């Protein structure tokens, strides 16, 4: 399976912070925001990753992440010259995806949960024979999100974008698993009124075929949409609190790569020593003392 991180957009809701820098490069407490969606792909054991960003910002991501070999993965890059919708990621990434299935994660979404690895593994397994898997996360303000409605058997009935009368309180966060058909589906999606290729249209195409699964994120799972200053602050506060209280780090990509055996002890030590003047580096080195 391939993985795509969509890290484009102008980030206008975060102005003036994002006038000169991509929002996914801003910090969520002690690490760049893009580390958090990247960690989801690593936890899902996805080692071929495509980062999509703007012409202005793409080189900054290359400077930060390189080719991925530092953490035992392969990272490629593509440019989205202007916002054309989330589903445009599958058109831009068609050659990268090839004949594989694909996971799309939005660059400004932060997820956390003790069982996240199993949740991601289950989502991958659901589409082994085809189809798509999306997630549902309970929110207090469903009118502000895409909302999924499902029956008692947890099969999806409908998906509505920012409905005035939500049919459930489950929002659809920015994490999606698709079979290889998603490329052709995206190519055939008609742009919405705002001129974008909407991810909801892709999901509805799978729904019409009876091939859309939903995995509910309930108690013990946390999701932050960091598209606003308030969202950034909430996510940073959460990460700070958990790390200080429990002692382990959230979305430390080097730790995940090491635990998944993408890199060995020697590479982890090398990375830790490069960063040992920081608490982040000290934490990496402490992992070998377990």
The total of structural domains in the chain comes to 1
Confirm whether 17 is domain-assigned. yes
Q: Express each pLDDT in 144-188 by its tens digit.
A: 888 998 888 777 888 888 888 888 889 999 999 999 999 999 999
Q: What is the CATH number of the domain that holds 47?
A: 3.90.550.10
Confirm whether 272 is domain-assigned. no
End-to-end CA distance of the chain: 31
Residue range of the domain that includes 195: 2-251
Residues sharing a CB contact under 8 Å with residue 37, sequence separation 6 or more, in sequence order: 5, 105, 106, 107, 108, 109, 110, 111, 174, 175
Task: Answer for the pair 199, 176: CB distance below 8 angstroms, yes or no.
Answer: yes
Q: Express each pLDDT in 43-97 by its tens digit.
A: 999 999 999 999 999 999 999 999 999 999 999 999 998 888 899 999 999 999 9
Residue that the structure tokens 């994490």 belong to: 175
Phi then psi for residue 217, to 5 deg, are: -100, 105
Confirm whether 167 is domain-assigned. yes
Closest listed residue to residue 25, CA positions, set 70, 69, 56: 56
Confirm whether 287 is domain-assigned. no
* Neighbouring-strand partners of residue 170: 138
Q: Express each pLDDT in 201-260 by its tens digit.
A: 999 999 999 999 998 887 789 999 898 899 999 999 999 999 999 999 999 999 999 999
């Amino acid at each position: 399976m391939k993985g795509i991180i969509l890290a484009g957009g102008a980030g206008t809701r975060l102005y003036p912070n994002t006038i000169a820098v991509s929002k996914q490069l801003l910090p969520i407490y002690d690490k760049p925001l893009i580390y958090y969606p990247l960690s989801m792909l690593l936890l899902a054991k996805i080692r071929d990753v495509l980062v999509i960003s703007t012409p202005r910002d793409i080189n900054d991501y290359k400077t930060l992440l390189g080719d991925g070999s530092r953490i035992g993965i392969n990272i490629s890059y593509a440019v989205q010259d202007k916002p054309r919708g989330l589903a445009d990621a599958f058109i831009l990434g068609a050659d990268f995806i090839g004949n594989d299935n694909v996971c799309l994660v939005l660059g400004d979404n932060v997820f956390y949960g003790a069982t996240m690895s199993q949740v991601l593994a289950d989502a991958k397994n659901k589409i082994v024979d085809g189809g798509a898997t999306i997630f549902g996360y309970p929110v207090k303000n469903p009118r502000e999100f895409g909302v999924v409605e499902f029956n008692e058997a947890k099969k999806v009935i409908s998906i509505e974008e920012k409905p005035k009368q939500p049919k459930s309180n489950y929002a659809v966060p920015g994490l999606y698993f698709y079979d290889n058909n998603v490329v052709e589906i995206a190519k055939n999606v008609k742009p919405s009124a705002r001129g974008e290729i909407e991810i909801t249209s892709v999901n509805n195409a799978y729904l019409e075929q009876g091939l859309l699964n939903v995995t509910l994120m309930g108690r013990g799972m946390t999701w932050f949409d960091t598209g606003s200053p308030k969202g950034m602050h909430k996510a940073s506060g959460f990460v700070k609190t958990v790390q200080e209280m429990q002692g382990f780090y959230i979305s430390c990509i080097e730790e995940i790569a090491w635990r998944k055996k993408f890199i060995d002890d020697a590479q982890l030590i090398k990375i830790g020593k490069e960063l040992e003047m920081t608490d982040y580096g000290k934490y990496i080195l402490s992992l070998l003392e377990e």
